[in-house]
Each structure stands twice: as structure tokens, then as C-alpha cells.
Amino acid sequence: MEPSFPLNQPPTCNCGHTANPQTVNSQNPHGHVGRPYFHCDDVCHGGKSKFVSWNDYQGIVEGNPRCVCKFTSRMGINNQTQQQWFHCPVGRCRFNEDVPDGYAATWRDGVVGPPGYGSYAAQTGPRTEMGMNNYGAQLVHDREERRGGCCGCLVM
């Protein structure tokens, strides 16, 4: 069974604390203004807010691979490099896989969601998706340059 957004229960950060709901503020330079997400403010993150998961259907495209949780993965894109990858749609497992060259869908394409929901991009205009947390140790170093966080997370 796929997750239903908005999530009824906030996800748990990989540090073990419950993530907090938030909405992207009007200062966001990447076109995510108003988009719902979860973050963790626990002191274990060095006083910085750690991104945990988006709280919408954006980037969850039918045909994306399944994550370890057996959910259809979310497609993300790095705002600076345009590198695309698949990751757990709720930030729960450590699934992370690069989008193969020539993959037909984009993160804007048809989303998995309730009938008539439509994509977030269709509702509010084009968007790019930012990085997620919970990557495996082998991918941490690889993702560090692309995402800027110590463990592949997005530091807000």
C-alpha cells in the first residue's frame, strides 16, 4: 500500500526523533514556496534543521522503482547540477538510486495519488526537487558534494 499525502503521522528522522511539519517559506529560491515538508531540529544535527521528507505527491511517478519500504519511490533533482535520483517517498528507508539515462518520466509526470489530485507542479507551476536524508554509508561521500549535507541530507 502506498503512503497517502498529506501524511497522518510525521515520519521519524534517522536520528530517531519525530520530524516536524513545515511549509517552504516565500524566500525559497528554488520554486518550492508553499510546499509542505518535514524536518528535524534535534540537537544531534549541530543546531541546523535537517530535511526529512516532502509531504506531497510530487515526483512519485508510476513506473519509478520501489524503495526498501515497497513504496513507489520519489524522483528528486538537484537544483544546482540537475542530477536526478530516486529515494523513499517518506524518508523512512535508505533507498537511493540514480535515475538512468533515457528514463522516460520526469519528476513532473503523472503522480501516484488519489483520483483527481494531479501533480504539485501542475497545481503551482514547475518545480525542482531537493535532496532527502537517510542514505546508506557507501553513498554518503558520493552525495556530499551534490547535496551539501554531511550524510546526503539537505541542510535548510
Q: Residue 72: is its pLDDT beyond 90?
A: yes
pLDDT at 104: 64
Strand partners, 76: 85
Q: Residue 88: is its pLDDT beyond 60?
A: yes
* Amino acid type, 129: E
Domain count, the chain: 1
More confident residue, 132 or 27: 27
Q: Residue 121: is its pLDDT beyond 50?
A: no
Q: Which tens digit of pLDDT belongs to each residue from 34-60?
A: 999 999 987 777 878 888 899 999 889
pLDDT at 106: 60
* Omega within 30 of 0 (cis) for the link into 6: yes
User: The domain containing residue 4 runs over which residues?
Assistant: 1-156
Residues in the chain: 156
Residue 5 banded pLDDT, cuts 50, 70, 90: very high
Number of H helices, E strands in the chain: 2, 6
